[in-house]
Structure 1
Amino acid sequence: MRRRSLHNGVIVETRVEARKRKEQSSQRWRRFEQVYVIITLLLFAQAFFPFFQAGQMDSVADGNALLQTIWKLIYVIAAVLIYIHRKHVMKIISRDKLTLVLLLMIVLSSLWSAAPEITMRRSIAFVGTNLFAIYLATRFSLRELFQLIAWALLAGAVFSLIVTILFPELGTMMHEGNLVWRGIFSHKNQLGRIMSLAAIVFFLLILMKQWPRWLTVGGFLLSVLMLAMSESKTAMIVLLITMGCIPFLTTLRWNPYARILFWLPASLFFIGLCLAIFPHMEALLRYFGRDMTLTGRTGLWDIVIEMIQVHPWLGYGYSGFWLGWEGESAYVWMVTTWEPPNSHNGFLDAALDVGLIGLCLILFSFVSRLYKAMRYHVSSHRWENLWPLLYLIYLVLCNLTETTLLDHNSFFWTLFITLGFSLPHKKRAEQRGRIRSRLRTTRRMEG
């Protein structure tokens, strides 16, 4: 009996040790994935580009050789991870069919592209970007992904501060005669966009009260500081508008009567404010360093719309238009008095790339995500449930004067695609809502 009990004890102890080793191995693997995600998100946000581009000349058509090698490594790791978790990938792949159709259209656009070789190469990069986004949706919940985004944005803010102080020749740039900050990013506007998003994320983390307060408040203040030092006025306006939406979005959880009592006076106040501001719009825009043409953007948009009408349905092929003097964009550069790298409007650039058909697919994808994000927000009183809705609003506002849609190796497009595969469908949201209501009823009865 003693021998048998001793033998059984050894077996149990061996199983416990094996389980511990398996858990430790799983935790190490999970940490590797988290580090991989944070680094990739930073690179997709164009972090450290001043270091990669130092001493190297980038071609509009060919790009940067060092960065291309890094992108290939990221795509290979994402493909391997997707293969490892292929069963889970197959379960979620059908959640966002519009993205898959758009992805197929972009790959096929090399058939009618104005620059087929460039379209083919960049469409492969676009596929790799989407693979990484699908991997994120497969491996991380919305809550986990939100925290990884927060860590990536915090790292971007901290590194930008350090680099700008220690290496000002890399962390700053000249813009309209002024020395402004760009941190570890490629341009001061990119620093502004990333920091405005970081301020939104850390404001939500402050409301969530789950991270240390010194970290969330510090992250928010640092993000606002870096945004101010970038002097990106568009990013400042986007931040203010997005933050201003938070009180209105929280009313979606209220009952209809309470919403009416809030929205009616708020709407009247907003209309009155617009009427008061409109006569002074030119002076207000001048204060923000803009004019009624939005620094030449409206004239540029008129010319771009003319070019869209030349190939309205399928466009010029993915990345087949803006190729400087070597591409169809030469006409735009010749007509305008400056050399814009894009339309400064994400929706117009999407129409140039994949035509009105592709633009409709993107708009339908936005509407689908907004609907899911709204249901996700209403399904719970947790502040983190507001994140998808705020991000979509932020993305729309950014693309009114800048371009981040359909961008390969893009932080913003990656998050957009991830939301499409991560946000719960209507049936799942309803099931969770019913389960929560039953749990509340049970607790009340027990109480």
Structure 2
Amino acid sequence: MTIQSLRSDFIPITLFGIYLGVRFSHSTLFRLLFRSVLILSFISLVVAWLIPSIGRHPMTHFAYPGAWKGIFTHKNSLGFNLILTNVFLFLRWLDHSQKKNLIDYALLFLLIGGTILSESLSALLISYLSINLTWLYCYCYQWRGKPTILALKIVFMVCVSLIGIVSVLWTPLMTGLGKDPTLSARTLIWEYVLGRVDESIILGFGREVFWKTPGLFTNVWRVAHHVPPHAHNGYVDLLADLGYAGLLLFFVALLPILVKVLKLAYQNRNMYDIWPLAFMIIFLISNSVESLLLKGANFSWLIFVVIACSPLTHSGSPPSSQRQTSRIRSSKI
């Protein structure tokens, strides 16, 4: 890592995340975060609709002509903001303690439509996966000893089988959907970067050094026909920056955070206690197609630090029916 890049963005955004996590409860943070991403999404969709010269990529764009980007610089940034908004709005919709009205339903359909118009297939898939995984864990999963272990094994085998089938049929599947099988040259970039990582396999090249050193990234042009600012994969970029030592350290630090958010969501099933788990699912999946780890003044990294530093205690007493359900489930653990 270069000292200048640490001082300019990584350290300030990390310290701010620590402050927010320690200073505010996660229920307060959810309200602030939900309002922020909702406002940003709404303004972006309005700008893209009414002022296409600002809110859309130009028709001459080499990869995404005419795609909606709103007030963001790239359609993928709008897509990530829409993912957060869609999932958080869905959590509010699932929480029976929250009153629903026509505005809630209208917002949900509007944002899903905006995600489609952004032409970000990854945003649609990540929204769908995040919503379903969160819902399955928080509202369907229940520990019952050996039957639960058996069910988890079956789910694991089904997932492995699906991954194998998709990997075999990947090219015809993506071609049939009218999409590039290389994910806009992402897979080619990953292959190239991973090949160069062997030159500094333990500690990496340093933070963002790879994409600022012509001798390292120049040949990317030959495989991707353009030079991206990053690898479009947080784990590949982390490997290039910090090597296998940094990647291992990240996953070691990630484990207690996942345990904390899983425990909170399982015991207290309301939107204020579920959103940290939902965000972690979004964060981990999104990093497979975008670089959100240690990259500049990154909003997603800020929220990750907030969750990591927050004590994540129960946000409040749920309705009586939820309290009874929680006690029953807790007694079975």
Aligned to 1:330: 218
Aligned to 1:319: 208
Aligned to 1:372: 260
RMSD, aligned α-carbons = 3.0
Considering Cα pairs closer than 8 Å and 6+ residues apart, tell me whether 1 or 2 has the greater RCO: 2
CA contact (8 A) 1:123 1:318 kept: no
2:89 is the alignment partner of 1:202: yes
SS in 1 for 2:109: helix
> What's the offset of the Cα at 1:292?
4.1
Aligned to 1:181: 68
2:200 and 2:151 mapped to 1: Cα distance? 46
| Structure 1 residues 274 and 135, CA gap change in structure 2 (3 angstroms) | closer
SS in 2 for 1:401: coil
SS in 2 for 1:406: coil
Q: Which amino acid aligns with 1:208?
A: D
Q: How does 1:63-212 map to 2 (within 5 A)?
A: 109-110=1-2, 119-173=3-57, 174=59, 175=61, 176=63, 178-209=65-96, 210=98, 212=100
CA contact (8 A) 2:134 2:277 kept: no
2:95 and 2:271 mapped to 1: Cα distance? 6
CA contact (8 A) 2:47 2:55 kept: yes
Higher-Rg member (1/2): 1
| Structure 1 residues 288 and 339, CA gap change in structure 2 (3 angstroms) | farther
> What's the offset of the Cα at 1:384?
3.1
Q: How does 1:236-247 map to 2 (within 5 A)?
A: 236-247=124-135
2:176 is the alignment partner of 1:287: yes
Aligned to 1:394: 282
1:328 and 1:267 mapped to 2: Cα distance? 39
2:240 and 2:166 mapped to 1: Cα distance? 34
> What's the offset of the Cα at 1:206?
0.8
* TM-score, with structure 2 as normaliser: 0.83
1:403 and 1:375 mapped to 2: Cα distance? 27
CA contact (8 A) 2:189 2:223 kept: no
Of residues 230, 235, 238, the one that matches 1:350 is 238
> What's the offset of the Cα at 1:422?
0.8
1:365 and 1:242 mapped to 2: Cα distance? 22
> What's the offset of the Cα at 1:121?
3.9
1:163 and 1:138 mapped to 2: Cα distance? 35
Q: Cα deviations across residues 110-134 of structure 1 (Å, max 9, x unaligned)? A: 3xxxxxxxx5145431111012111
| Structure 1 residues 294 and 168, CA gap change in structure 2 (3 angstroms) | closer
2:216 and 2:165 mapped to 1: Cα distance? 43
> What's the offset of the Cα at 1:267?
5.6
2:186 is the alignment partner of 1:297: yes
CA contact (8 A) 2:188 2:223 kept: no
Aligned length, in residue pairs = 315
Q: Cα deviations across residues 33-60 of structure 1 (Å, max 9, x unaligned)? A: xxxxxxxxxxxxxxxxxxxxxxxxxxxx
CA contact (8 A) 1:315 1:351 kept: yes
The structure carrying a bigger helix percent of its residues is 1
1:328 and 1:303 mapped to 2: Cα distance? 10
> What's the offset of the Cα at 1:356?
2.1
Q: Cα deviations across residues 286-316 of structure 1 (Å, max 9, x unaligned)? A: 2344344333222222221122221222222
* TM-score, with structure 1 as normaliser: 0.63
SS in 1 for 2:211: coil
2:6 and 2:103 mapped to 1: Cα distance? 39
| Structure 1 residues 201 and 324, CA gap change in structure 2 (3 angstroms) | farther
Aligned to 1:39: none
2:99 and 2:31 mapped to 1: Cα distance? 10
Q: Which amino acid aligns with 2:77?
A: Q
1:197 and 1:177 mapped to 2: Cα distance? 22
Identity of aligned residues (%): 28
Q: Cα deviations across residues 421-441 of structure 1 (Å, max 9, x unaligned)? A: 0144xxx78xx9xxx89x979
Gaps of 5+ in 2: 318-322, 329-333
2:246 is the alignment partner of 1:362: no
> What's the offset of the Cα at 1:161?
2.0
| Structure 1 residues 266 and 358, CA gap change in structure 2 (3 angstroms) | closer
Aligned to 1:234: 122
1:184 and 1:255 mapped to 2: Cα distance? 48
CA contact (8 A) 1:163 1:184 kept: yes
CA contact (8 A) 1:195 1:227 kept: yes
Aligned to 1:213: 101
| Structure 1 residues 245 and 421, CA gap change in structure 2 (3 angstroms) | same
The range that moved more, 301-310 or 224-233, is 301-310
